[in-house]
Amino acid sequence: MKLTHHSEYGKLKTVFIKRPNEAFISDQKLSSEWKDLNYLSRPDLILAEEEYQKFEVLLQAEGVELKYFPEDHSVTLDSIYCRDASLATDYGMILCNMGKVARKPEPAASMHAFLTEQIPILGIIQPPGTVEGGDVAWLDDKTLAVGHTYRTNADGIRQLKELLEPHGISIIVADMPHYKGPSDVFHLMSVFSPVDKDLAVVYSPLMPISFRQYLLDRGISFVEVPESEWDSMGCNVLALSPRNCLMVSGNPLTQKRLEEAGCQVHTYTGNEISIKGGGGPTCLTRPLLREI
């Protein structure tokens, strides 16, 4: 067994998160930002805190060490979805340049937390390149899948390659569909969540054909999310360890299919912290070390 940052399904050892108290901050901030950020409705701060406490307990019960991003008034409510601002590698963090304009300050805010923890910075994605963490997923410790989306552009992918290929990392690009267009949050991990070396949760109707076939050729089997559970984030599944999964409650068909594939499934209520803002457990976490 070894510790690495290059995994989405190894046993999770350390993770950064950001609590609602530090992201949503106040009712005034919620009221002033939620519409412009395209939330489905205004989150309730008290209920969000209650949901998040239970979310934290689930992580702690698995022995995960939690690190916290602090309050920062330069960022918006979206900073609760802390995966997107960075990419963790064994050579240091890569700070993203967000495709969503309102989220541009998040990587710099994240950098302060990383440096406080003495975590090195490998690189920073520079304009005009854009990369968001929801568009990148490790397939193994030498292979990174990157979605080409409205949030992660060709120049951002070029910069990722320049940073990682000298370290022997292969970049697999998935050219994602238009779907609802530039204003919608649609990442690679909206349709693809690895939960073991040979198992992933997928929503095939919105997967690029070439990327889907590439995964099958690698020997990866699929847990298919039904259309009825797409909007409720049935495809947004965080692996706590191989085939040990965390997902938003309210997706019984996907949960059953995961269990039939030999997975243990934990669920949390995420009406305020996930559904309204469009960010499930993968979005709520910036995983660091995993054991593989």
For residue 33, give the 3-state DSSP assignment: helix
Stretch 181-195: mean pLDDT: 94
Mean pLDDT of the chain: 97
Q: pLDDT (tens digit, 9 = 90+) per residue, 102-125? A: 999 999 999 999 999 999 999 999
pLDDT digits (tens, 9 = 90+) for 191-205: 999 999 999 999 999
Instruction: Give the tokens for residue 140.
Output: 């193994």
Q: Are 105 and 91 in contact (CB under 8 A)?
A: no
Give the Å distances, CA to CA, from 21 to 187, 206, 237: 26, 34, 24
Closest CA to 64 of 229, 250, 291: 291
Domain 3-291 part of CATH 3.30.70.270: no
Could you count the other beta carbons within 10 Å of the beta carbon of residue 87? Answer: 28
Classify residue 206 by burial, with Cβ atoms within 10 Å: 0-12, 13-18, 19+.
middle
Q: Do 149 and 186 touch, CB atoms closer than 8 A?
A: yes
Q: Is 188 exposed, middle or buried (0-12, 13-18, 19+ CB in 10 A)?
A: buried
Q: What is the pLDDT of residues 248-287, one digit of tens each?
A: 999 999 999 999 999 999 999 999 999 999 999 999 999 9
Q: Enumerate residues 6+ apart whose C-beta is below 8 A from 260.
A: none
Q: Break the chain into its structural domains and give their ranges.
A: 3-291
CB within 8 Å of 33: residues ≥ 6 apart: 76, 77
C-alpha distances (whole Å) from 39 to each of 35, 101, 237 are 6, 15, 20
Instruction: Write the pLDDT tens digit of every residue in 116-156.
Output: 999 999 999 999 999 999 999 999 999 999 999 999 999 99
pLDDT at 1: 86
